[in-house]
Chains A and B, each alone.
Chain A
Amino acid sequence: MTMTDRTTAPAPGAPRPYHFPHVTRTTLPNGLRVLVAEHRNAPIAALRTLVKSGADHDTAQLAGLASIAADLLDEGAGSRDAIKLAEDIGLLGATLGTGADWDASYISIDVLSRNISSSVEILADVSYRATLPTDGLERVRSERLMEILQQRDEPAAIAGKRFAGLLYGTGAYGNSIIGTSDSVSRIALDDVRRFYNGHYLPNASSVVMSGDVEASQAIDLAARIFGDWKKSDEPPRPVVSPNAIAESRIYLIDRPQAVQSEIRVGHVGVARSTEDYFAISVMNSILGGVFNSRINLNLRERHGYTYGARSAFAFRRAPGPFVVSAPVRNEVTRESVSEILNELRRIRTGDIEDRELDDTKNYLMGVFPATVQTASDIASRLLDMELYGLPDDYFDRYRENISAIGKDDIARVAQKYIDPDRSLIVIVGNASQVREPLGNLGIPLHEIDIEGNAVTG
């Protein structure tokens, strides 16, 4: 055997082509869009309903309404009560999930593919024949109130809520998706019915089927089963109006038992529809979007301050937040905030190494096939296309769109979308240990409680 040369990385072979599964589309007379992608790695099918309304429609008074409505969907649908629904789902070899996030509500069924037809019928029941029973609401409400109570102990949840509240106030994206104890106590069955009847509409929804399915049969099935879903006028889009930030401020929330500080640094970002989407994706991956990005290498691998730090743009239908997040030990809270701000300044200078840019673009271009291996992965991609109105050739053109990004694009979008001097800095931590060091940063510091009220004294 010849000696193996270990000193340099082996060269790659010829790349093998990748194609996203072919997508078959149709729109039913009631306006429901149906998408099917065949992909047979296992005898599994992923069935989804996307409803293009979520917690963005919640008012501060009734915060939590969209997610309460979603939670109620499996409390009874069609002729089945909650228990019968769960039993029949189990007998089909399926799992049922429902939920709402900021921009949409979702119903998902993963099922052994031999039982697709019966599962699609249940998907339809839950999508527009949910019974929304009174006892179901009380059960969901009670569980929700307990969940809100439990989150009072969870530093990451507290930091996230206060960050959103300070950024968006009491408007859309500012209220907690799960609501507050006051708002959840206030929600009546009529509110839930109004939301369900007004937003779960075929002309504002999409049904996706992927995995071990046959496209033409799946389309026929959807047409037959979802055909009687009645269309109606779509609700208007909510207005998102974030608070302006004139200068950076620190908001400190005391958690006396804390052995780490949960740090959030950021401000309003940009909507998913931005033409700068690809440039921002590359820029954020360099900054803090992947393991080997600057913020993580700095805080974790150079300093050992944290188990993991990251930055993210929440791309939503309206501008979601840009936020850097890191849990760090108490003693290095000030240093960590300072290093984060330094990295935000540095990315704006346009000082990008060739290798950084190439590595990041190659990662984004190359990683796609590994992230769409399962029926569920593929369904998620199709739901994104529907929710954000992405073009049919989006995945085919993704590589060239990323490939076209240069250093000047990075600098331009960093300067346009990242602003360390007008950032919100939220810290949930042990105030007696971190208050004084944070005061030395030269940034105004306010102390608030976990509800966001000013702390005096």
Chain B
Amino acid sequence: MLALDTYELGNGLRVVLNEDHSAPLVAINLWYHVGSKNERRGRTGFAHLFEHMLFSGSEHVGNNEHFRYVQSVGGVLNGTTFFDRTNYFETLPSNYLALGLWLESDRMGYFLPALTQEKLDIQREVVKEERRQRYDNVPYGTAFERLLRLAYDPDYSYHWPTIGSMEDLQAASLDDIREFFATWYRPDNCVLTIVGDFAPDEAKRLIEQYFGDIASGGHFPRFELERKSQATEQRETFQTPVQLPRAYRLYHLPRMGSADWIHGDLLSTVLAGDKASRLERSLVHEKQIAQDVNAYVLPTEATGMLLMQATAKDGVAIEDIERAIDDEVARVIDGGVTEDELTRAKNRAEVEYAHQIENYDSRADLIGMLATYFGDASIVRTWLEPYGATTRDDLRDAAAKFLVPENRVTSLFVPSSSGG
């Protein structure tokens, strides 16, 4: 199921093919190694705004026609942007492989001739509405943004969220978009993954036909990936119209895929993976002081983060929630985790991995991520091995090293007096 054929075109486009005929579908997935990490202070939100622009047509594909071409043959598609990457993907009936490659190569190689001010103006408004809908008009919507501001230096580009600021979005010009495209959207900054029902020789011929003549560019601008270490906990209390107080924490970890990050992933399951997990059992089930708790790691390339949040029940002070969290974390550091807890956490990782492999779309996305971040798609076959090798001591050591006050930032959302 996970046999890979990996190669590179003359222009530097990396290709990963995973042939699987169990359904008459092909998943086409492109990871461009550019995200909000490649933005500068004062010019935020660009990578994501740009993702919207890439759906607004290219030289041979009209405005909104990309969606139409894919959907009118029964395909599904989208794109997403994050700190380190932007991905574009469609799953098509397998006899439309050439259509998908034509569409993706046209916007990789022939985007600029179709770019207009009018398209930019519309998509800028759409993205501003996206920001309002997801961040500004919902309770707790700006929590992640606030944590990032506390966690990273203003010049370190994890300091701002992918959506960017309203001011910077407003200031984005057509020239900015052109320059962004020319700098980052090129074959040697992309991994093309295809999973599904194709004939390998035919697929390779089509890939060469559509992508082979797209030129690669010059050098990439450099970005600082080394995070300055933090000396003490950074904290804030934010008064806002919410009904229930909530504590948000970000613990620094090394980058995704490192042993420490994998231990952090397993620890987050031990702490908040299910009803019997440490935090949920103590705060939600037994003491009943919290409405919910959550902990997870993010798949980030430059540096890692374990995020944790807990909502206080009405009438419970947020200080009591923080204290209860700290007590449970201290118990892990002092006493470690049980063999059963470790097994449950490993099982959870195995189930999540199986779900990702199960469907062509998410399998292609996982392969694209591994090829982009680690330069090695074959890690998809061994992804679970470091999870399996993890010991109870590893988790205790990771907790002692990372789940400490000086390694975290905390943002407390508390109801403003006028709230509710």
Q: Which residues of A contact B (CB under 8 A)?
A: 1, 4, 6-7, 9-18, 40-44, 74, 82-87, 89-95, 110-112, 139, 142-143, 145-147, 149-150, 152-155, 257-260, 290-292, 297, 300-307, 327-329, 358-360, 362-371, 373-375
CB atoms of B71 and A292 under 8 A apart:
yes
The interface residues of chain B lying within 8 Å CB-to-CB of A257 are: 241
Knowing A42-B355, A90-B347, A153-B139, the reply to whether A306 touches B275 (Cβ < 8 A) is: no
The interface residues of chain B lying within 8 Å CB-to-CB of A85 are: 275
When chains A and B are docked, how far (Å) is the Cα of A291 from the Cα of B133? 17
CB atoms of A87 and B138 under 8 A apart:
no
CB atoms of B124 and A304 under 8 A apart:
yes
Kindly identify which residue among A18, A90, A359 contacts B276, using a CB–CB cutoff of 8 Å. Answer: A90
The interface residues of chain B lying within 8 Å CB-to-CB of A373 are: 23, 25, 358-361
State the total of A-B contacts with C-beta under 8 angstroms: 237
Knowing A12-B73, A150-B243, A260-B132, the reply to whether A6 touches B110 (Cβ < 8 A) is: yes
When chains A and B are docked, how far (Å) is the Cα of A83 from the Cα of B276? 5
The interface residues of chain B lying within 8 Å CB-to-CB of A146 are: 244, 291, 311, 313-314
Q: Which of B136, B212, B351 has the most CB of A within 10 A?
A: B351
19 contacts between A and B (CB under 8 A): A6-B59, A13-B96, A16-B197, A41-B358, A41-B359, A86-B275, A91-B343, A110-B355, A112-B350, A259-B137, A297-B64, A301-B64, A327-B132, A359-B71, A362-B72, A369-B25, A370-B25, A373-B23, A375-B358
B257 in the interface (beta carbon within 8 A): no
Could you tell me which residues of chain B, from 182 to 218, have a CB within 8 Å of some CB in chain A?
A: 197, 208-210, 212-213
| Whole-angstrom distance between the Cβ of A141 and the nearest chain B Cβ | 11
Knowing A82-B285, A304-B129, the reply to whether A142 touches B313 (Cβ < 8 A) is: yes
Kindly identify which residue among B64, B138, B213, B284 contacts A292, using a CB–CB cutoff of 8 Å. Answer: B64
When chains A and B are docked, how far (Å) is the Cα of A83 from the Cα of B278? 11
CB atoms of B291 and A74 under 8 A apart:
no
The interface residues of chain A lying within 8 Å CB-to-CB of B235 are: none
When chains A and B are docked, how far (Å) is the Cα of A257 from the Cα of B276? 38
CB atoms of A18 and B102 under 8 A apart:
no
Could you tell me which residues of chain B, from 283 to 335, have a CB within 8 Å of some CB in chain A?
A: 284-285, 288, 291-292, 311, 313-314
Q: Which of B63, B105, B285 has the most CB of A within 10 A?
A: B285
Which of B36-44, B87-95, B366-374, B375-383 is the contact stretch? Answer: B87-95
The interface residues of chain B lying within 8 Å CB-to-CB of A362 are: 72-74
CB atoms of B351 and A110 under 8 A apart:
yes
When chains A and B are docked, how far (Å) is the Cα of A146 from the Cα of B139? 14
Could you tell me which residues of chain B, from 71 to 125, have a CB within 8 Å of some CB in chain A?
A: 71-76, 91-99, 102, 105-106, 110, 121-125
The 9 A-B residue pairs with the shortest CB-CB distance in the complex, in nearest-first order: A366-B74, A304-B125, A90-B344, A93-B347, A16-B24, A359-B72, A42-B358, A86-B276, A86-B275
CB atoms of A91 and B359 under 8 A apart:
no
B130 in the interface (beta carbon within 8 A): yes
Knowing A44-B355, A153-B420, A358-B72, the reply to whether A12 touches B96 (Cβ < 8 A) is: yes
CB atoms of B64 and A91 under 8 A apart:
no
When chains A and B are docked, how far (Å) is the Cα of A427 from the Cα of B226? 47
CB atoms of B274 and A44 under 8 A apart:
no
When chains A and B are docked, how far (Å) is the Cα of A291 from the Cα of B69? 12
Kindly identify which residue among B74, B127, B241, B311 contacts A367, using a CB–CB cutoff of 8 Å. Answer: B74
The interface residues of chain B lying within 8 Å CB-to-CB of A297 are: 64
B357 in the interface (beta carbon within 8 A): yes
- Nearest A-chain residue to B351, judged by Cβ: A93
Q: Which of B24, B291, B347 has the most CB of A within 10 A?
A: B347
- Nearest A-chain residue to B27, judged by Cβ: A370
| Whole-angstrom distance between the Cβ of B375 and the nearest chain A Cβ | 26
Q: Which residues of B contact A (CB under 8 A)?
A: 1, 22-25, 59-60, 63-64, 67-69, 71-76, 91-99, 102, 105-106, 110, 121-130, 132-134, 136-139, 197, 208-210, 212-213, 241-244, 273-276, 281, 284-285, 288, 291-292, 311, 313-314, 340, 343-344, 347-348, 350-351, 354-355, 357-361, 419-420
A1-B208, A16-B197, A363-B71 given; name 20 further pairs at CB < 8 Å. Answer: A6-B59, A12-B73, A12-B95, A42-B354, A44-B351, A44-B355, A87-B276, A111-B351, A153-B138, A154-B139, A155-B138, A259-B137, A290-B71, A297-B64, A301-B122, A305-B129, A358-B72, A363-B73, A366-B73, A375-B358
Kindly identify which residue among A13, A42, A154, A301 contacts B95, using a CB–CB cutoff of 8 Å. Answer: A13
CB atoms of A370 and B213 under 8 A apart:
no
When chains A and B are docked, how far (Å) is the Cα of A280 from the Cα of B320? 53
The interface residues of chain A lying within 8 Å CB-to-CB of B213 are: 1, 4
- Nearest B-chain residue to A142, judged by Cβ: B288
The interface residues of chain B lying within 8 Å CB-to-CB of A9 are: 69, 99, 102
CB atoms of A300 and B93 under 8 A apart:
no
- Nearest B-chain residue to A358, judged by Cβ: B72
When chains A and B are docked, how far (Å) is the Cα of A112 from the Cα of B357? 13
Kindly identify which residue among B22, B97, B122, B125 contacts A41, using a CB–CB cutoff of 8 Å. Answer: B22
The interface residues of chain A lying within 8 Å CB-to-CB of B76 are: 367, 370-371
When chains A and B are docked, how far (Å) is the Cα of A328 from the Cα of B130? 10
When chains A and B are docked, how far (Å) is the Cα of A291 from the Cα of B68? 9
When chains A and B are docked, how far (Å) is the Cα of A86 from the Cα of B274? 7
When chains A and B are docked, how far (Å) is the Cα of A139 from the Cα of B284? 9
The interface residues of chain B lying within 8 Å CB-to-CB of A367 are: 71, 74-76
The interface residues of chain A lying within 8 Å CB-to-CB of B22 are: 40-41
CB atoms of A147 and B102 under 8 A apart:
no
CB atoms of A304 and B126 under 8 A apart:
yes
Kindly identify which residue among A1, A259, A364, A369 contacts B24, using a CB–CB cutoff of 8 Å. Answer: A369
The interface residues of chain B lying within 8 Å CB-to-CB of A14 are: 95
| Whole-angstrom distance between the Cβ of A451 and the nearest chain B Cβ | 13
Knowing A7-B60, A90-B347, A257-B241, the reply to whether A15 touches B95 (Cβ < 8 A) is: yes
CB atoms of A292 and B95 under 8 A apart:
no
Kindly identify which residue among B1, B124, B344 contacts A87, using a CB–CB cutoff of 8 Å. Answer: B344
When chains A and B are docked, how far (Å) is the Cα of A86 from the Cα of B269? 13
When chains A and B are docked, how far (Å) is the Cα of A304 from the Cα of B118? 11
The interface residues of chain B lying within 8 Å CB-to-CB of A139 are: 285, 288
CB atoms of B137 and A258 under 8 A apart:
yes
Q: Which of B127, B137, B344, B355 has the most CB of A within 10 A?
A: B137
CB atoms of B68 and A95 under 8 A apart:
no
Knowing A14-B95, A374-B359, the reply to whether A92 touches B347 (Cβ < 8 A) is: yes
Kindly identify which residue among B91, B126, B241, B275 contacts A83, using a CB–CB cutoff of 8 Å. Answer: B275
- Nearest B-chain residue to A113, judged by Cβ: B354
| Whole-angstrom distance between the Cβ of A289 and the nearest chain B Cβ | 11
CB atoms of B102 and A112 under 8 A apart:
no
Kindly identify which residue among B71, B74, B129, B351 contacts A306, using a CB–CB cutoff of 8 Å. Answer: B129
When chains A and B are docked, how far (Å) is the Cα of A4 from the Cα of B19? 25
The interface residues of chain A lying within 8 Å CB-to-CB of B98 are: 10-13
| Whole-angstrom distance between the Cβ of B318 and the nearest chain A Cβ | 14
When chains A and B are docked, how far (Å) is the Cα of A303 from the Cα of B291? 40
- Nearest B-chain residue to A255, judged by Cβ: B137
| Whole-angstrom distance between the Cβ of B56 and the nearest chain A Cβ | 8
The interface residues of chain B lying within 8 Å CB-to-CB of A143 are: 284, 291-292
When chains A and B are docked, how far (Å) is the Cα of A40 from the Cα of B71? 27
CB atoms of B354 and A74 under 8 A apart:
no
Knowing A142-B288, A153-B243, A366-B75, the reply to whether A329 touches B129 (Cβ < 8 A) is: yes
| Whole-angstrom distance between the Cβ of A286 and the nearest chain B Cβ | 12
Kindly identify which residue among B97, B136, B244, B284 contacts A149, using a CB–CB cutoff of 8 Å. Answer: B244
- Nearest B-chain residue to A85, judged by Cβ: B275
When chains A and B are docked, how far (Å) is the Cα of A258 from the Cα of B243? 16
| Whole-angstrom distance between the Cβ of B343 and the nearest chain A Cβ | 6
The interface residues of chain B lying within 8 Å CB-to-CB of A302 are: 122
- Nearest B-chain residue to A365, judged by Cβ: B74
The interface residues of chain A lying within 8 Å CB-to-CB of B243 are: 149-150, 152-153
| Whole-angstrom distance between the Cβ of B223 and the nearest chain A Cβ | 29
- Nearest A-chain residue to B23, judged by Cβ: A369
When chains A and B are docked, how far (Å) is the Cα of A87 from the Cα of B132? 40
Knowing A41-B359, A146-B314, the reply to whether A82 touches B275 (Cβ < 8 A) is: yes
